[in-house]
Chain A
Amino acid sequence: NAAAKDGGSGGGGNGKAFTLVTPDPVAQNEFLKLAVAGVKSAAKAQGGSQKVFQSSDNDSRQQNVASAVDAAPDVIALVGFEFADIVAQQAEAHPKQQFLLVDACTKKTYKNVTCAVFREHEAVFLAGAEAGLLTKSKKVGAVDVLDTPQFRRYSEPFAAGAKKVTPGARSRTLFVGGQSPFNDAARAKDQAATLGSGGVDQVMAAAAGGNTGVFQAAKSKGFQAYGVDANQCLGSPGVVVDNVLKKTDVAVEKGIAQILDGKGGTTVSYGLKEGGMSLTGLEPGLAESKCLIAKPANKDVLQRVEELRDDIVAGKLTVDDPAA
């Protein structure tokens, strides 16, 4: 229960209060863990208190948001596209309440809704480039949770990145699907092993809770994998090349600050340029990351990737967005 509500009090008599509502249980979900970290550091920075409400389905999302609104904290932060409709509804009903919607945005704009969205495809493209440079079989692949445009942001740019640096590289994507796509490590492992058996030697692991399965397959099948959201090299040393980092913590903390400064009601997009998306390999502390990309032998790979990043930041290179 570590990730959930600590704090709760703290701060002075007129300290600020923030509530984070997650769409799913935080659990081992790196992306949500970061959001929790973000709201915590915001509370610390603002001298306020924070709460985390974890949901698991549409009913509990609605109930948690309603409950959060009833308590009227200074900012309600929500992560995940699942909240778009709910926030729109609540923002209209409670114009005084400030919302921070991370990773999605309402269709209409509201004065009291601030959005933070990510351009995941940019970082995934870079990971794909790494894969393209490292692949020996010229075959790369991705294990994706579900076949939706949102999740294709983790597979298609990966292929594009690989093809960019290695023309003629081939790619393949498999989806976990099944009865619990976000948490079925066994199926994810099976899918990854299938890719491995087909000769794929670089696999983007975008299987959410199933990523562990992908890494386990990497170990037994001898291919290399790419993690998401946090540094997953630590949990599976020796098989993870690099990670696509989505800095939800930054988005949450910055968004809260922005709202408290009275500059809410806008949409901020985070990509490579804003430092909202990145790779572990491009971040400080790489040496301790246990990622394969940190090996001296991969220095030139990293260098090529840095060039690509600079091109994207400079607008010289645009990455196609499958969800656009």
Chain B
Amino acid sequence: MSVDSALFHSALLALTPILLAALGGAICERAGVFNIGLEGMMLIGCFAAVAGSWFTGSAWLGVALAALASGAYAMILAVGTISLRGDAVVLGVALNLLAVGLTGFLLRTAFGVQGTFSDPDLAGLGGIDLGFLGPVLSGHSALVYVSWAAVAVAAVFLARHPWGLRLRGVGEAPDAAATLGVSPAKYQYLAVLTSGLLCGLAGAQLALGNVTLFSENMTAGRGWIAVVAVMLGRALPLGVLLAGLLFGVAEAVGFRLQGNGLPQQAADAAPYVVTLVALFLSTARRKRRKRPEPLVGAAS
């Protein structure tokens, strides 16, 4: 395995949780729900995955529990914003906060440990050897391949499936959808639920795929990166994939350079700077295509 293929291999690995969560965020965005709680949902998924795997002995039951738990957790956002018309940003931030407290609390009460739970007997998601795909694409956990499939499915669904069309309509003009008998609440609930399920898978991949353990706050900002990826990718599944890939590669390259004299702090900062520059370029390109906007036009 050459160094370069290892680089991309690890970039893909780092990308997967971000990608899964960002896909969920993109679907919410399309349905008109701003989901800033990806980080918290993913963290719940991490915990549930480890708990499920540990108590059942099966990593796949862990994955299932992660999806269920994050889906249920996402319902707090759904009920709060869709039914009760609470503020999505407030609730999202609260969910992120709650997840840290809740998983920490449960870790101490259910596992009797603090900080990290890991055990050699904890079943993780093994890599699948798909040798024909080459060293970069082969050898990942099944969830990695699921995430790629999810991108394709989401892209086709949103662009071409009638329900995808309705979902986008709900996000763009809920009143208009309602007058045609499409319930915005229903689609928004489903979108938030889907984002919960995807964040659950993201958490499972992080806790049982990338590593095999749970540690407090182990998402470490990945959910926020997913939020940024949704914006950079304009809530398009393929866009989100590219945005995530950019971030993942920047991070992996940063790692490499770290070994070659780049200060660790610069390596840490690199992916954020690269993402910001990408945002500049993409908005600048869009701006050039568009006419200048009036001051009272849509919020800039």
Which residues from chain A sit less than 8 Å from chain B, CB to CB? 1-4, 25-29, 146-147, 172-175, 177-180, 183-187, 189-191, 193-194, 197-198, 209, 212-213, 216, 220, 235-237
Contact A174 B10 (CB under 8 A): no
B132 to chain A, nearest CB (A): 20
With A27-B113, A216-B211 known to touch, is A194 a contact of B268 (CB < 8 Å)? no
Q: Identify the stretch in B64-72, B89-97, B158-166, B215-223 within 8 Å (CB) of chain A at 4 or more residues.
A: B215-223
| Distance of A228 Cα from B264 Cα, bound (Å) | 22
Q: Which of under 10, 10 to 19, 20 to 34, or 35 or more describes the interface residues of B? A: 35 or more
B residues in contact with A179, CB < 8 Å:
220-221
Contacting residue for A27 out of B6, B114, B127, B256, CB 8 A: B114
B206 close to A28 (CB less than 8 A): no
| Closest beta carbon of chain B to A53's beta carbon, Å | 14
* Listed A/B pairs (30) with beta-carbon separation below 8 Å: A1-B114, A4-B114, A26-B115, A27-B115, A28-B113, A28-B118, A28-B215, A147-B264, A174-B255, A175-B267, A177-B268, A179-B220, A179-B221, A180-B217, A183-B115, A183-B215, A183-B218, A184-B218, A184-B220, A185-B116, A185-B211, A185-B218, A187-B220, A190-B255, A194-B7, A194-B259, A198-B259, A209-B215, A213-B211, A235-B118
Complex CA distance for A33 and B118, rounded to whole angstroms = 16
Q: How far is the CB of B49 from chain A (nearest CB, A)?
A: 13
Closest to B215 in A: A183
* Residue of chain A at shortest CB distance from B117: A28
Interchain CB contact under 8 A, A212 and B118: yes
Q: Taking the nearest CB of chain A, how far is it from the CB of B144, in angstroms?
A: 14
List B contacts of A177 (CB < 8 A): 258, 264-265, 267-268
Q: Are B210 and A175 in contact (CB-based, < 8 A)?
A: no
Chain A residues with CB under 8 Å of B268's CB are 177-178
Q: Is the CB of A185 within 8 A of B263?
A: no
Contact A175 B258 (CB under 8 A): yes
Nearest Cβ distance between residue A97 and chain B, in whole angstroms? 28
Known: A183-B217, A186-B220, A235-B119. 12 other contacts (CB 8 A): A4-B114, A25-B115, A175-B258, A177-B258, A180-B220, A186-B206, A186-B218, A190-B210, A193-B6, A209-B215, A212-B212, A216-B124
- Kindly provide the distance from the CB of A272 to the nearest chain B CB, expressed in whole angstroms: 29
Within 8 A of A (CB), among B13-38: 13-14
Chain B, 182-214, CB within 8 A of any chain A CB: 206, 210-213
Instruction: Decide: B221 and A185 in contact? CB cutoff 8 A.
Output: no
Task: Answer whether A212 and B216 are a contact pair too, CB < 8 Å, given A27-B116, A28-B113.
Answer: no
Give every chain B residue within 8 A of A209 (Cβ-Cβ). Answer: 115-116, 215
Cα of A173 to Cα of B217 in the assembled complex, Å: 25
Asked whether, in the complex, the Cβ of B3 is within 8 Å of the Cβ of A197, the reply is yes
* Per-position 1/0 for B92-125, Cβ under 8 A of A: 0000000000000000100011111111100010
- Give bound CA distance, A197 to B108, whole Å: 36
Q: Which residues of A contact B298 (CB under 8 A)?
A: none
Known contacts A28-B116, A183-B115: does B264 contact A189 (CB below 8 Å)? no
Return B85 CB to nearest CB of chain A, in Å.
33
Instruction: Confirm or deny: B180 has a beta carbon within 8 angstroms of a beta carbon on chain A.
Output: no
Question: Is the Cβ of B116 less than 8 Å from the Cβ of A237?
Answer: no
Complex formed: what's the CA distance from A2 to B107 in Å?
12
- CB of A197 within 8 A of CB of B220, answer no
The 10 closest A-B pairs by CB, nearest first: A27-B115, A197-B6, A27-B114, A175-B264, A147-B264, A28-B116, A179-B221, A179-B220, A185-B211, A186-B210
Find chain B residues with CB under 8 A from A174 CB.
255, 258-259
Q: Does B84 contact A (CB under 8 A)?
A: no
In the assembly, what is the distance between CA of A174 and CA of B262, in Å? 11
Given A1-B112, A197-B3: A190 in contact with B220 (beta carbons within 8 A): no
- Residue on A with the closest CB to B221? A179
B298 to chain A, nearest CB (A): 34
Minimum CB–CB distance for B228 against chain A, Å: 14
The CA-CA distance from A220 to B126 in the complex, in Å, is 10
Question: B299 interface residue, CB < 8 Å from A?
Answer: no
Q: How far, in Å, is B170 (CB) from chain A's closest CB? A: 34
Chain A proximity of B267: nearest CB distance (Å): 7
Q: Is the CB of A147 within 8 A of B120?
A: no
Identify which of A25, A29, A146, A190 contacts B264 (C-beta below 8 A). Answer: A146
- Closest Cβ–Cβ distance, residue B127 to chain A (whole Å): 7
CB of B295 within 8 Å of the partner chain = no
Across the interface, do B116 and A183 meet the contact criterion of CB distance under 8 Å? Answer: yes
B265–A172 touching, CB < 8 Å: no
B1 interfacial contact with A, CB 8 Å:
yes
Q: What is the bound-complex CA distance between A216 and B208, given in angstroms?
A: 11
